[in-house]
Amino acid sequence: MPEDGTRISAAKGRPMLRWVGKQPLDYVRGFPAQLVEVFDPLDSGRKTTTPTYDALKHDWKNLLFHGDNKEVMATLLENGFRGQVDLVYIDPPFSSNRDYVRSVELRGLRQLGDMDRDAVSVLQQAMYEDMWQRDTYFQFMYERLLLLRELLADHGSIYVHLDWRVAHYLKAIMDEVFGEDNFIREIIWRIGWVSGYKSAAKNWIRNHETILYYGKDKSKVIFNKMYTPYPPDYERWGGRPKGKGLPIEDVWGVFPQEGVTSLQVVSFATEYEGFQTQKPEGLLERIVRASARDPQQAVQNGMDVPLVLDCFVGSGTAAAVAQKLGMRWIACDVNKGAVQTTSNRLRKLILGQIKKDKKGKQHQLPRHRSFGVYQVNNYDLRLLKTEAVELATHHIGIQRMKTDVFFDGTLGKSLVKIVDFNHPLTLMDIQLIQDELRKRPAEDRNVTIVCLGKELAVDPEIENWNRKHPVNKLDVIELKTDKRYGHFLVHKPAEATIAVKKAGKRKVTIEVQEFISPTIIERLNIDSGLIKVTIPDFRSMIDTVLIDTDYDCKTFRVVYSDVPEKKHDLVEGKYEVELASPNARLAVKIIDMLGEEVLFTYPPA
């Protein structure tokens, strides 16, 4: 084991699923976690730059990570979190061969009453690509389950949310990782009422997903048995029974006979964040209440408040439920949009809790009313490949392939390879394509390479290859310059014009005078066809405005946040704030509806 790694113990179960490329995870190496944002509305005056368990144990602040969850969990293990997590809930990819998107609607356009604008005001932002070769998917999940097991306390539980595509495979993998003796229950979640496309199936209507429930050590798990009240007309052996009610079984969902105790679907009025795969808070609340100590009892007994971990956090439901129940939480996602959605959701929730605290309506202990946002391995510098593939596919007319692990689709009779838009097409990219073609001697199709730009050395190499190969010829679509497909969205950063005026010794007024997101404008124009979209109020493109009144040029501390209560409301755009000191630096962060940030400082950093 290298000195800079942390050891991972071997899987201990006997059942073993085999796949190509299966490798044990003997050790992992963590990466520095950079604190990029702090939300601490009660102004505790302390921030944890390096999130170690020892530093947080007696002054807990919740943790939200942006990064690959394997790297984040490796960092947590190196920072002392081994065996500290009470409950894990994850809703990982299902290997569904689909791209999942988030519906993003610009603010305020519905109120204009313009149907043309309304029709194109909703953007579809790709969140993650759930297209896997099975062997790759199995290794991906195997590694992450091994890491989650290391983070779980001996009394801890893990719930893994799946569907029919992979539940049986993951059951075998979890038997290996946790031991089949530590399997506790298979839970069937009835998704909701059957309607629309589901009812068109020619056989039995699918309407459930599966949740696998394991313990780190089954003999030590915490479980609080839950009950549903007896129905009004319920009788047993000639009379109305006494007691707590009927014990909740392992089939959950929307059932008329359960009445108010039934698990409802996601509330569009109070919960929905635009995620296709978003789960209802009621589902997570049932899991958390059942498998973690009551926080107040934990404090009274001198024990730690339960810690909940979700490393595929998506829209932030698990973190939101843990926050509402007074528990500690750690959340992680590789997608920046998911991290910002979760951050917005938790900020609004915490501010609401503080308001209730002041009115004496909430006596929940303890009160963890802050969180830090950390970046692991600097994923903020990368465009998500899924988004690039989705945009290029839509623009050019590529037919996606669901089963090929290397090529992205077809264009006419050619295979298509979309090169990562974070760099120009290089000789290394060409080499990888040539190597792949050599592995496929029966493949006679040509290859179209899609890129934003290319290095000068690429053209001679392609010409040389094409001279020697009557089949498998290479062609390049360079999206910046190729006129065959018209103008392609090339990323340009958002820009803002902000005016700051002194209003006293420490008071300043801030006015957002102009904001433009070229990405949003481009996407709207692509989706609207020939109609050129105009946005009458630039604030429609702004999701959130955050203000730091004492910016240190390293960590943004959220002192004021303008997150409109309703999804169609606009941000205010004008603010009066008080600086921490007369010479303090002001920072304003504007986040657009697609999650891109603009940071303004005064005086300039």
At 311-320, the pLDDT tens digits run 999 999 999 9
Please list the residue range(s) of the chain that carry CATH number 2.60.40.
495-602
pLDDT 10s digits, 166-176: 999 999 999 99
The CATH architecture annotation of domain 495-602 reads Sandwich (2.60)
* Whether pLDDT at 64 is above 90: yes
The Cα–Cα gap between 372 and 352 comes to 18
Query: What span, in angstroms and rounded, lies between the C-alpha atoms of 302 and 263?
Result: 33
Return the structure tokens found at 243: 């007691």
Bridge partners (DSSP) of residue 331 are: 64, 310
Q: What is the DSSP string of 142-197?
A: HHHHHHHHHHEEEEEEEEEEE-TTTHHHHHHHHHHHH-GGGEEEEEEEE-S---GG
pLDDT on residue 96: 46
| CATH 3.40.50.150 domain residues, the chain | 6-27+36-97+132-370
Peptide bond into 256 cis (omega under 30): no
**Residues 6+ positions from 211 with CB-CB distance below 8 Å:** 159, 160, 161, 162, 186, 187, 188, 189, 287
- Residue 217 in this model has a pLDDT that exceeds 80: yes
CATH class of 6-27+36-97+132-370: alpha beta
Angle at which helix 134-151 crosses helix 167-178, to 10 degrees, equals 40
What DSSP string runs through 479-490? TTT--TT-----
CA angle at 140 for the pair 137 and 144, rounded to the nearest 5°: 140
Alpha-carbon span 423 to 248, nearest angstrom: 53
Paired strand residues for 235? none
Q: Where in the chain is the domain with CATH 3.40.1350?
A: 385-478
Q: 523: pLDDT confidence band, cut at 50, 70 and 90?
A: confident
Residue range 385-478, CATH number? 3.40.1350
User: Mean pLDDT for the chain?
Assistant: 85
Q: Which of 205-209, 217-221, 579-583 has the highest mean pLDDT?
A: 217-221
Rounded to an integer, the average pLDDT of 35-59 is 89
pLDDT at 565: 81
* More confident position, 192 or 418: 418
Inter-residue contact 333 to 22 (CB < 8 Å): no
How far apart, in whole angstroms, are the C-alpha atoms of residue 530 and residue 523? 13
Look up tokens 């000068």; give the residue. 456
- In degrees, to the nearest 5, what angle opens at C-alpha 564 toward C-alphas 560 and 570? 110
What's the pLDDT tens digit per position in 429-463? Answer: 999 999 999 999 999 999 999 988 888 899 999 99
Supply the pTM of this predicted model.
Answer: 0.78
User: Is residue 72 within 8 Å of residue 293, measured between CB atoms?
Assistant: no
What six digits make up the tokens of 192?
A: 């909701």
